[in-house]
């Protein structure tokens, strides 16, 4: 009597464990599939339906190649060969195809299934959809490369500004360097708003010329977004021109005026013109100043051209730049 009772209890426990296992399999977010050694699908849980789009009635009885892209059919032959040898395949990343034809990245774990005598009769497969995870990893890698590229470019611009800076006193030199670095920092703040796509030229001009807004400043030009490298060069150029005008040119006089104009031609060329009037008579320097060298260096590096015209009524600077 005791043996019979023990047998019934053991049977009940076994059935309960099987129900638990079946419940776990059915409720899993991962695709859990079983197949025979010919690759024919024998079971198909809700996770498989959610990931691949096929219902159990559509999938069971079909070959597992139902969800394998044409160019990856050889993977299934290799998997079945290894399963027959009793091998387990862990975290194999590959591509599979849904019912609607879209490709997804999955991580597969495949294990042999044995019968009561220990003979391998099939395989159980767990597939996890890692498409979003892979996209995020690729995005992080891309962003890291972009950040490295941009930081190197920024440091190169800063080093150029520092190396070219000269002054008659340490304090003046410090102010010159700080001013140039701040010009670069200001334009970088504009990049944040566009996620580093670039910056609008009018915004760059307004930002760099803001300290002189109470004076005779006129700006005229269309909306144009400059990519970061060009935007930095234009920001530095306007900073140098404005600093020079405030010290020696039109912005040093109460009736002086600066007109900034730009246009964007269909062939992809930016034309920018800085015109000073009403200031001291402009005289061409006997040797090129630091500001001029910085402007020419940054613009020519971008395959652009700079022309300074030292007119009697003020400096005119013309820049052409491919954008």
- CATH number, domain of 9, equals 3.30.450.20
Instruction: Supply the range of the domain harboring residue 47.
Output: 2-129
Determine the pLDDT at residue 110. Answer: 96
CATH number, position 271: 3.30.565.10
CB 80 within 8 A of CB 102: no
Beta-carbon contacts of 131 under 8 Å, excluding residues fewer than 6 positions away, are: 104, 105, 106
Tell me if 313 is assigned to some domain. Answer: yes
> Across the chain, where does the E strand assignment appear?
31-36, 41-44, 89-97, 103-114, 120-129, 199-200, 216-220, 225-226, 257-264, 269-277, 305-311, 314-322
pTM flag (> 0.75): no
Closest CA to 192 of 175, 207, 179, 178: 207
- Among 89, 107, 129, the domain boundary falls at 129
Does 112 lie in the same domain as 249?
A: no
Q: What is the reported pLDDT for 196?
A: 73
Residues 6+ apart with CB under 8 A from 153: 228, 229, 232
> Residue 199: how many CB atoms within 10 A of its CB?
28
CA 300 to chain centre: 28
Q: Quick one: 33 exposed, middle or buried, by C-beta within 10 A (0-12, 13-18, 19+)?
A: buried
Answer whether 251's CB lies under 8 Å from 209's CB: no
Q: Inform me whether the pLDDT recorded for 165 exceeds 80.
A: no
Which of the listed residues 111, 129, 147 is the one where a domain comes to its end? Answer: 129
Q: Do 179 and 301 sit in the same domain of this protein?
A: yes
Residue among 75, 67, 70 nearest 51 (CA) = 67
Residue 167 pLDDT grade (very low, low, confident, very high; cuts 50, 70, 90): low
Q: Are residues 100 and 177 in the same domain?
A: no
Residue 316 predicted with pLDDT over 90: yes
Query: Are residues 217 and 287 located together in one domain of the fold?
Result: yes
- pLDDT exceeds 70 at position 150: no
How many Cα atoms occupy the beta-carbon half-sphere of 10 within 13 Å? 6
């Amino acid at each position: 009597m005791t043996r019979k009772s023990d047998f019934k209890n053991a049977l009940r426990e076994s059935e309960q464990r099987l129900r638990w296992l079946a419940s776990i399999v059915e409720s899993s977010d991962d695709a859990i599939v079983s197949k025979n050694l010919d690759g024919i699908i024998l079971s198909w849980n809700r996770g498989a339906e959610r990931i691949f789009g096929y219902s159990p009635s559509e999938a069971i009885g079909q070959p597992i190649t139902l969800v394998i892209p044409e160019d990856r059919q050889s993977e299934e032959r290799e998997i079945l060969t290894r399963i027959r040898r009793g091998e387990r395949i862990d975290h194999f990343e590959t591509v599979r195809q849904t019912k609607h034809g879209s490709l997804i990245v999955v991580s597969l774990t495949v294990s042999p299934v044995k019968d009561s005598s220990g003979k391998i009769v099939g395989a159980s497969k767990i597939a996890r959809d890692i498409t979003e995870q892979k996209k995020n990893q690729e995005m992080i890698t891309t962003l890291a490369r972009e950040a490295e590229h941009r930081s190197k470019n920024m440091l190169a611009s800063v080093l150029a500004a520092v190396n070219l800076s000269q002054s008659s006193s340490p304090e003046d030199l410090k102010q010159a360097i700080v001013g140039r670095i701040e010009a670069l920092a200001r334009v970088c703040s504009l990049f944040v708003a566009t996620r580093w796509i670039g910056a609008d030229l009018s915004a760059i001009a307004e930002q760099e010329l803001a300290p002189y807004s109470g004076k005779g400043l006129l700006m005229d030009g269309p909306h144009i977004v400059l990519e970061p490298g060009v935007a930095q060069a234009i920001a530095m150029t306007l900073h140098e021109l404005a600093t020079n005008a405030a010290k020696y040119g039109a912005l040093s006089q109460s009736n002086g005026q600066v007109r900034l104009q730009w246009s964007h031609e269909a062939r992809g060329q930016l034309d920018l013109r800085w015109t000073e009037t009403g200031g001291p008579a402009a005289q061409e320097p006997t040797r090129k100043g630091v500001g001029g060298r910085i402007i020419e260096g940054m613009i020519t590096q971008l395959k652009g051209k700079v022309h300074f015209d030292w007119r009697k009524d003020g400096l005119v600077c013309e820049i052409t730049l491919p954008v």
